[in-house]
Amino acid sequence: MALCERCSGKGEIVVEEKKCVACKGTGKAKSINLGELSEEQLSRALDGSCPVCDGTGCVKITEKCPECGGSGEITGHVDTPSVNLLSDLCDLQDLVVGDLYEGTVNGVTDFGAFIDLNKKMRGLIRSNNLGSDVAVGDTVHVHVQNVKPNGNIELIPKKLKEYQIVEIEKHFPEYRSSDLLKHVGKTVSIAGKVIHVKQTAGPTIFTVLDESGTVVCAAFERAGERAYPEVDSGTIVRVVGEASMRNQDIQIEVAEMKGLFGSDATGICDRIERALDILAEPQDVDFLIESEVTTSLKEGMRAVAKRIRRAIFSSQPIVLRHHADADGMTAGIAIERAILPLIRDVSGTDAEYYFYRRSPSKAPFYEMMDIVRDITFALGDQARHGQDLPLIILVDNGSTEEDVPAFRYTDVYGIDVLVVDHHHPDEVVDQYLCEHVNPYHVGGDFGVTAGMVCFEVARMINPDVTDEIKHLPAVSAIGDRSEAAEASRYIDLVSDRYSAAELSDIALALDYAAFWLKFQDGRGLLNDILNFGKLDRHQKLVKLLCDQAKSMIEDQLRVCMPNVRTQRLPNGVSLNVIDLEHFAHKFTFPPPGKTSGEIHDQICQKTDDPVVTLGYGPDFAVIRSRGAGMNIPQMVRELHDELVGAGVSGGGHLVVGSIKFVEGMRTEVLQRLAEMIGKLETDE
């Protein structure tokens, strides 16, 4: 046998309260007939309280409790009562008089306690119904006694030992993020995955991904206070709010955000994955020139394009790294011009500032300085905004053993890496890469430049950019001095717009700008150099940069050429050596690699013999060759193994590259290198 919960064991319930007629609602005793009062009423009357209403000023009208029939007890089986928990979207229409609800104490006054049933509805427990003290923030269970015409909610507290929570939801039409533009001003619902969280001085901004794209959701508690702290990046949520426009982008003003779990979350994840797989499929485009090499690489190029598109449509951050020369910059910018419009379409007009970064690499490999900077930025963004770790794309670098130390870092953090390169590849790197596209893999060589391959990859990602970037592979070919058949075909492709001399000037302007940009991406400047802006500014800028670059090159050659030492090796190779530390301008343009190349070109113009040019400093040597069977990566490995203690490292292309060593072993390294060159086969 148990007490009746409806009447708390009293056997009766209050159905109405009226003003006390005896005291006219004052609670004070008036003229009374002492003979008609009980002993208890007489005691109150002597204290000055109205004996009819016990000093409350009102009289309660009661009736027998219908639940227990007036006994105050319930016999037999007692069901566990259900307590309703209202979502923040519920309003008075969803409230049922007589039902139990869970609420939170919002405030306590002399006349009662205010209870929040959700963010929209607040009721009152009058002080005479409070069985015990309550404090702000307490969770309480209440019985809805009445809802007045003015919307005031009268509550009675209920103490429950056992109960079950029933969540009361209010359902709104669910849409995909891509459909929201049609429903601006309406309350909508979407379900998806939180991929980015940003706390501003006002609202908390959540970026939510569903199967059709992303949408920004703004939730506000108080200025600068984190809304929905239980929701982090990676949480599957259902968001309800008003669709609105902000800065030309669709946004949801959040009324309610709720994390989903179990089968609900799994179903949404599966739905997103299926949609992403379809969206990520690259465009089926035909190459603009005939090339056996690129045709053989096509499947690998499609795999790279698909992985990049998947990152874009899932709003995964992208880090694009490229060698800081004409080939590397045209390769990187071809990819950049393809992906930026898609990033803006998918994630908003300012999304590129959160989901994309391009950085040049001074060396033709992924240096430790580069990977440490990239990891540091990525971890910072993850900590601040809950972003995924980025997809790293390396173009015109990433194929050689020198990249392995950096790749070990990406392996530790589980970062996906894509490589599109034309340096002679080492198999050891493949274990760290998701995709590796290189002409050498299909019988090609460095003549098919990274800029050529990346141009076609960019068209697979976004074919709409074809016309604006069509000249980039031609600039790449001239800048990297490619003699492959593909080079002349790409140059012919844009001959109606650019002469060979103009393409050469653009390549030189890129090299010159790259020297001064150092580690900056220089997007605006490079866009003007590559004619993505105003034509007249492009022409003036390229002329200015080329004039300055040519002047500095001429000045460097005037200093260097008299100090070049030439000797003929046993195999007929003309070996030309210069000490760049003592006989060249330092810390200015052209740098040692470019200086050695310019010296090499001048010498090649004066002879048809096989030529090798060697520019060296205290701990490095730069090699340029023509007509000799060079394999610089192989020579570096042999020097490393033979000269113990020299610390030889380096690489590059087969006939163009650089070597590093310890300063104290410079003489031994250079002597042995000269001996190796003297034994090479030549084209004569």
**Is 544 a residue whose pLDDT tops 80?**
yes
pLDDT of res. 42: 47
Averaging pLDDT over each range in 63-67, 148-152, 586-590, which range is the top one? 586-590
Residue 331, C-beta contacts closer than 8 angstroms, at least 6 positions apart? 322, 395, 396, 420, 449, 450, 451, 453, 454, 455, 472, 476
**Is 34 a residue whose pLDDT tops 50?**
no
Portion of the chain with pLDDT greater than 70, in percent: 92
User: Can you tell me the mean pLDDT for 374-392?
Assistant: 89
C-alpha 329/C-alpha 476 separation (Å) is 8
Of 130-144, 289-303, 560-574, which gets the smallest average pLDDT? 130-144
**Which tokens hold the place of 473?**
């592979």
**Is 268 a residue whose pLDDT tops 70?**
yes
Torsion angles phi and psi, residue 555, rounded to 5: -65, -40
User: Which CATH superfamily, name and number, covers 177-279?
Assistant: Nucleic acid-binding proteins (2.40.50.140)
User: Can you tell me the mean pLDDT for 304-318?
Assistant: 93
DSSP calls for 224-292: TPPSSTT--TT-EEEEEEEEEEETTEEEEEEEEEEE--HHHHHHHHHHHHHHHHHHTSPP----SS--H
Average pLDDT taken over every residue of the chain:
89
pLDDT of res. 384: 80
User: Can you tell me the mean pLDDT for 317-327?
Assistant: 95
C-alpha 248/C-alpha 298 separation (Å) is 38
Confidence of residue 78 (pLDDT cuts 50, 70, 90): low
**Secondary structure class of 154 (helix, strand, coil):** strand
C-alpha 578/C-alpha 595 separation (Å) is 10
- Count other Cβ atoms within 10 Å, centred on residue 488: 15
**Is 50 a residue whose pLDDT tops 80?**
no
**Is 8 a residue whose pLDDT tops 50?**
yes
pLDDT of res. 76: 53
**Partners of 151 in the beta sheet?**
none
**Secondary structure class of 19 (helix, strand, coil):** strand
**Is 363 a residue whose pLDDT tops 90?**
no
pLDDT of res. 65: 77
**Is 75 a residue whose pLDDT tops 70?**
no
* Helix then strand then coil, % of the chain, to nearest 5: 40, 25, 35
pLDDT of res. 127: 86
Could you tell me the CA-to-CA distances from 152 to 88, 146, 243 in Å, in that order? 18, 8, 30
Burial 60-94 (b: 16+ CB within 10 A, else e): eeeeebeebebbbebeeeeeeeebbebbebbeeeb
pLDDT of res. 350: 79
Of 247-251, 297-301, 666-670, which gets the smallest average pLDDT? 247-251
**Is 93 a residue whose pLDDT tops 90?**
no
C-alpha 472/C-alpha 479 separation (Å) is 10
Averaging pLDDT over each range in 50-54, 156-160, 448-452, which range is the top one? 448-452
**Is 24 a residue whose pLDDT tops 80?**
no
Which residue is associated with the tokens 């007249």? 536
The CATH number of the domain covering residues in 292-540? 3.90.1640.30
CA dihedral 154, 156, 161, 163 (to 10 degrees): -30
Confidence of residue 604 (pLDDT cuts 50, 70, 90): very high
Alpha helices in 619-661 (DSSP H): 632-642
- Answer whether 79-168 and 177-279 agree in fold: yes
Of 17-31, 148-162, 374-388, 554-568, which gets the smallest average pLDDT? 17-31
Compare 318 and 211 and report the one with higher pLDDT: 318
**Which tokens hold the place of 112?**
């009662």
What would be the CATH architecture of the domain defined by 564-678?
A: Roll (3.10)
pLDDT of res. 381: 86
Query: Per the omega criterion (within 30 degrees of 0), is the bond before 590 cis?
Result: yes
CA dihedral 361, 364, 367, 373 (to 10 degrees): 20
pLDDT single digits (tens) 166-186: 888 888 888 999 899 999 999
- Of the chain, the end-to-end C-alpha distance in Å amounts to 112
Confidence of residue 89 (pLDDT cuts 50, 70, 90): confident
C-alpha 170/C-alpha 91 separation (Å) is 9
pLDDT of res. 599: 96
**Which tokens hold the place of 396?**
């015109």
- Extents of the domains making up the chain: 2-73, 79-168, 177-279, 292-540, 564-678
pLDDT of res. 515: 94
- Its pTM stands at 0.74
Give the class (CATH, top level) of 79-168.
mainly beta
CA proximity to 191, closest of 256, 97, 123 = 256
C-alpha 309/C-alpha 282 separation (Å) is 7
pLDDT single digits (tens) 609-658: 999 999 999 999 999 999 998 899 899 999 999 999 999 998 888 889 89
User: Can you tell me the mean pLDDT for 1-20?
Assistant: 70
**Which tokens hold the place of 185?**
């001003």
**Is 31 a residue whose pLDDT tops 70?**
no
**Is 2 a residue whose pLDDT tops 70?**
no
pLDDT single digits (tens) 209-242: 998 888 999 999 888 899 999 998 889 999 999 9
**Partners of 436 in the beta sheet?**
419
User: Can you tell me the mean pLDDT for 90-118?
Assistant: 90
**Is 492 a residue whose pLDDT tops 90?**
yes
User: Can you tell me the mean pLDDT for 183-201?
Assistant: 90
